[in-house]
Amino acid sequence: MREQIYRQLKQAGGFISGETVSAPLGITRAALWKHIRAIEADGAVIESAPKRGYRLVSPPEIPRAEYVRAHIRHNVVVVYKTSTTSTNDDAKAAASGLAEGVFIAGEQTSGKGRKGRAWVSAPRSGVYMSFLVRPVSEPERVAGLTLAAAVAMCRAIESLADVTARIKWPNDIIIGGKKAAGILTESMLSMDGVDFVVCGIGVNTYARFEGALAETATAVPVNGTLLAAAMIDRFFDAFGQFEQSGLAPFMDEFRQRSAIFGTVTVLSGADSQSGVLAGYDDDGALLLRCGAQLKRFVAGEVTLRGDEGYV
């Protein structure tokens, strides 16, 4: 019911009378009004005027599936939970009965970052989303999907905000020199190859950072429903291209979006190697010039630190 009402408001593009919305749904005007109040409570701005009806001014901040679905091009299962441990866990749990889907949460009580770190996921502070997909690529190529996803997320953010989104290899999204979003990809392998991949993405929208974190983290204040929808469409556009042509078509844009330059240190376990960033190859590996040697590092195996131009 809520979804149909929201779709009508959105499709009207201007005022639509209460009668026009409620009659086909077989509900009273009073019942409609209650739904409108609930959509407003989710952060939508809806103008109401006597005799003219209702007008959707801006979509809900809370990216519930029933709102997000009204804004996407791709036909995909979208699931929303008000609260969950981690949307990556939700996607993995669903994988036994679902081929492909999107899992969104209003908050995560146990949000996960890379390298075992936590991802702070408070309500109305970010979009927390995981994609469940089944690439047919060989396992060693799947790491590339994370880089393609990073490019897709930059596109999604830039479609809504007047910012330049850059990438700290392999998959941190950097805005104004600070991290605004991160990606945690988990793959499930079977005897036959890749069973499924869960690509979890967190974008800070209204999160506030204090103390030391304020030096390295930032938020991009955009509407939650519109951002979630843009993330879904851009992700599945990219996934389709990745499946057809691999990572190579993304790499020019990835290079242009690189937030890293100059001298960097690559950490791998207890080892560390410093050098000058020489670029990225078409498989998404980082190339480091160490004296006369050119060394190649594969995403997922190393951590990056640097002196200039990135966090």
User: Which chain residues interact with ligand BTN by CB under 6 A?
Assistant: 86-88, 108, 111-114, 117, 119, 128-130, 172, 182-184, 200-202
Contact 55, 18 (CB under 8 A): no
Q: Which is nearer to ligand BTN, 113 or 249 (CB)?
A: 113
Contact 149, 220 (CB under 8 A): no
Contact 102, 76 (CB under 8 A): yes
Minimum CB distance to ligand BTN, residue 61 (Å): 17
Q: Which is nearer to ligand BTN, 7 or 114 (CB)?
A: 114
Q: Which is nearer to ligand BTN, 56 or 173 (CB)?
A: 173
Minimum CB distance to ligand BTN, residue 276 (Å): 25
Exposure letters 266-277 (e unless 16+ CB within 10 A, then b): beeeeeeeebeb
Minimum CB distance to ligand BTN, residue 86 (Å): 3
Residue type, 277: L
Minimum CB distance to ligand BTN, residue 257 (Å): 16
Q: Which is nearer to ligand BTN, 8 or 108 (CB)?
A: 108
Minimum CB distance to ligand BTN, residue 107 (Å): 10
Q: Which is nearer to ligand BTN, 22 or 218 (CB)?
A: 218
Q: Strand runs (DSSP E) across the chain, as ranges?
A: 45-49, 53-58, 78-84, 101-108, 126-133, 165-168, 172-175, 178-190, 193-204, 263-268, 271-280, 286-290, 293-297, 303-306
Q: Which is nearer to ligand BTN, 14 or 177 (CB)?
A: 177
> Which residue is at the shortest CB distance from ligand BTN?
182
Q: Is 118 helix (H, G, I), strand (E, B) or coil?
A: strand
Rounded CA gap, 268 and 265, in Å? 10
Minimum CB distance to ligand BTN, residue 126 (Å): 7
Q: Strand runs (DSSP E) across 86-192, as ranges?
A: 101-108, 126-133, 165-168, 172-175, 178-190
